[in-house]
Structure 1
Amino acid sequence: MRIAVTGSIATDHLMTFPGRIAEQLLADRLDHVSLSFLVDTLDVRDGGVAANIAYGLAQLGHRPLLLGAVGADFAPYGERLAALGVDVCGVHVSRTRHTARFLCTTDPDGNQIASFYPGAMAEARNIDLADVLRKAPADLVLIGADDPAAMLRHTHACRTHGIPFAADPSQQLARLDGDQIRELVEGADHLFTNEYEHALLLAKSGWTHADVLHRVGTWVTTLGEKGSRVERAGDPPLDIPAVPADRAADPTGVGDAFRAGYLAALTAGLDPAECARLGSQLATLALSSVGTQTYAAPRALVPSGGDTT
């Protein structure tokens, strides 16, 4: 079973602030915030949700198909991913824009303030998913945070051509309206959110919790240090604990690693609880490393039973 991953491909600029972000926010001044943080470290890393998930899948022995839009500056990044086993034939290269940039400041409590410049990602809407899959077939498409028009186009293509898809709108929930969210979620084989996104999706879609469960196959919610919850209509929820980390170096990309682990286990035919456990194991590896594509998965984590070609 082969997975195609669509979404952002970016360069991450990761900074650490030694103080606490919450202490800099004044309750009676939140209508006019002007803050500048003197940071201690800067790490420039390859990132983007689609590339992060594809990296994690490659670490687990898969050859995922990556789809997204980048600038000409992507060449060294793309060569590295290809060498690791990621198929980059579905990546669109812009002639005029740079690859997207993610700038994030993290404090010792794991709180973050971030900005994202889309750059070439705006051209992802020009990618014809069905055409790419005719040349490089896949059995499941994960539709991650991307240019909103691209996310909607990819979802429509999956429905039109009967391709199973997983909805992972994540950061773009803040940008999407209720109609768009309902369009992206309806009929998804899997829906991925974190705890905050879980609540935001319900608030913006106008659906109840039960409504969502009747519209998707499986709803997976990551809960940070509390682990994850897997829900299906008619079944009791499964609460899977997190794998403790020896050190929390950088929370950026931890959710992407979870998704990679979960999907790798899914393709191997494992049950939802086992999928979530492998997701948690890979997430902890990512948490222990600075950068979203710097961890290495030991062979013992590679699930057996699935076709990774």
Structure 2
Amino acid sequence: MHFPGKFSEQILAEQLDRISVSFLVDELVVRRGGVAGNISYALGVLGQKPVLVGAVGPDFAEYRSVLEKAGVDTSGVATFDDVHTARFTCTTDDDMRQIASFYTGAMARAREIELAPIAERLGGFEFVHIGANDPEAMLRHTDECREKGYPFIADPSQQLARMGGDEVKRLVDGATYLISNDYEFELLLKKTGWTAQDVASRVGTRITTYSEKGSVIVAADGTETWVDVVPPTETVDPTGVGDAFRAGLLTGLSGGLPLERSAQLGALIATYVLETDGPQEWTWQRDAALARLRDAFGDSAADEITAALPA
């Protein structure tokens, strides 16, 4: 929502203990989002068959329809009739200051979901991507992956801020891949007391993003491979850019591409989202995508990535 004014002019500092305000907004935009929703939607657009696992309320029906039309398998989604689906609401004023709230809702029930029945129905998992969710659910899913031998991707993201060091260690130890941005990785080191070398000894590969500077792939032996961004034509909205990178990366890995090429595809999808108002409003055009990959990474990279792209 947008408030056509300034919050600072409506709030009396000397009466904060009695604050009670209501803002008449002139704009309301509702968008589909969420880490799992954004990633699975992008995977579907890119020709993959992702299985979404999470908890929702009865208000999820329209969103479910959109995801399924994009190729997402939503049979792993648990519906709880007594709560609403998680949502984030935010009001921005003319100074770009924000007042926001996050309602966890059904997300808090994700801890009740067991992965084994889903794996049995599907015949196993290629990867289990464990992204930001109810912290107890993240821990349960990670423990189950280690117990059952499911290859998993640790991606704790914004939930690092509320978890203790021992919990973070449980999320990371044994992961095939660890994905984070540079700030999150430093926070991870601080909370766990680990060094970068300690992390390398506990995960297969670390992928760390650095916003407009690109990303780095760090192998278990410490070898680093840097991947540039795909230059945007314009910067519209950063919401969901990290989710888009992950979807492109996973698409490449699923298609048998090496990590560098997979990250380059991730960089392209991230830029598409950056150029779009909303995390799921971008469009896919194969020829245009290949042209941008050639411009950014060269003919050889584009030719290799072609094999993993949908028509």
TM-score normalized by structure 2?
Answer: 0.83
Q: Which residue of 2 aligns with 1:294?
A: 281
Q: Which residue of 2 aligns with 1:6?
A: none
Give the secondary structure class of the aligned counterpart of 1:99: coil
Query: Which has the higher mean CA deviation after the structures are superposed, 34-43 or 70-79?
Result: 34-43
Q: Does structure 1 residue 64 correspond to structure 2 residue 50?
A: yes
Q: Does structure 1 residue 258 correspond to structure 2 residue 258?
A: no
Residues in 2 aligned to 1:110 and 1:214: alpha-carbon distance in whole angstroms: 43
Q: Deviations over 1:88-139 (max 9, x none)?
A: 0000001100000123467999997754211000110111111111112421
Deviation, 1:236, is: 2.5
Q: Which residue of 1 aligns with 2:182?
A: 195
Q: Which residue of 1 aligns with 2:109?
A: 123
Quick one: which of 192, 201, 204 aligns to 1:205? 192
Q: Does structure 1 residue 248 correspond to structure 2 residue 235?
A: yes
Q: 1:19 to 1:69 in 2, by over 3 A?
A: same
Residues in 2 aligned to 1:255 and 1:293: alpha-carbon distance in whole angstroms: 12
Give unpaired runs (5+ residues) of structure 2.
Answer: 10-16, 291-304
Q: 1:49 to 1:112 in 2, by over 3 A?
A: farther
Residues in 2 aligned to 1:280 and 1:307: alpha-carbon distance in whole angstroms: 14
- Superposed, 1:140-159 pairs within 5 Å as 140-159=127-146
Residues in 2 aligned to 1:57 and 1:225: alpha-carbon distance in whole angstroms: 23
Deviation, 1:297, is: 2.2
Deviation, 1:267, is: 1.1
Q: 1:141 to 1:174 in 2, by over 3 A?
A: same
Q: 1:200 to 1:299 in 2, by over 3 A?
A: same
Q: Deviations over 1:180-218 (max 9, x none)?
A: 100000010011101210111111111111101111111
Residues in 2 aligned to 1:110 and 1:212: alpha-carbon distance in whole angstroms: 38
Q: Does structure 1 residue 232 correspond to structure 2 residue 248?
A: no
The number of aligned residues is: 285
Residues in 1 aligned to 2:6 and 2:257: alpha-carbon distance in whole angstroms: 41
Give unpaired runs (5+ residues) of structure 1.
Answer: 1-14, 25-31
Deviation, 1:235, is: 3.9
Residues in 2 aligned to 1:207 and 1:142: alpha-carbon distance in whole angstroms: 23
Residues in 2 aligned to 1:244 and 1:17: alpha-carbon distance in whole angstroms: 32
Task: Tell whether the 8 Å contact from 1:140 to 1:165 is kept in structure 2 after alignment.
Answer: yes
Give the secondary structure class of the aligned counterpart of 2:184: helix
Name the structure with the higher strand share: 1
Q: 1:115 to 1:61 in 2, by over 3 A?
A: same
Task: State the 4+ residue runs in structure 1 displaced beyond 6 angstroms.
Answer: 16-21, 34-40, 106-113
Residues in 1 aligned to 2:27 and 2:237: alpha-carbon distance in whole angstroms: 12
Task: Tell whether the 8 Å contact from 1:252 to 1:291 is kept in structure 2 after alignment.
Answer: yes
Q: 1:38 to 1:272 in 2, by over 3 A?
A: farther
Q: Which residue of 2 aligns with 1:46?
A: 32
Deviation, 1:245, is: 1.0
Q: Which residue of 1 aligns with 2:262?
A: 275
Residues in 2 aligned to 1:146 and 1:121: alpha-carbon distance in whole angstroms: 7
TM-score normalized by structure 1?
Answer: 0.83
Q: Does structure 1 residue 167 correspond to structure 2 residue 167?
A: no
Name the structure with the higher helix share: 2
Which is bigger in relative contact order (C-alpha 8 A, separation at least 6)? 1
Give the secondary structure class of the aligned counterpart of 2:31: strand
Larger radius of gyration: 2
Aligned Cα root-mean-square deviation (Å)? 2.9
Q: Deviations over 1:27-54 (max 9, x none)?
A: xxxxx9x999997754210111011100
Q: 1:74 to 1:281 in 2, by over 3 A?
A: same
Give the secondary structure class of the aligned counterpart of 1:202: helix
Residues in 1 aligned to 2:258 and 2:97: alpha-carbon distance in whole angstroms: 33
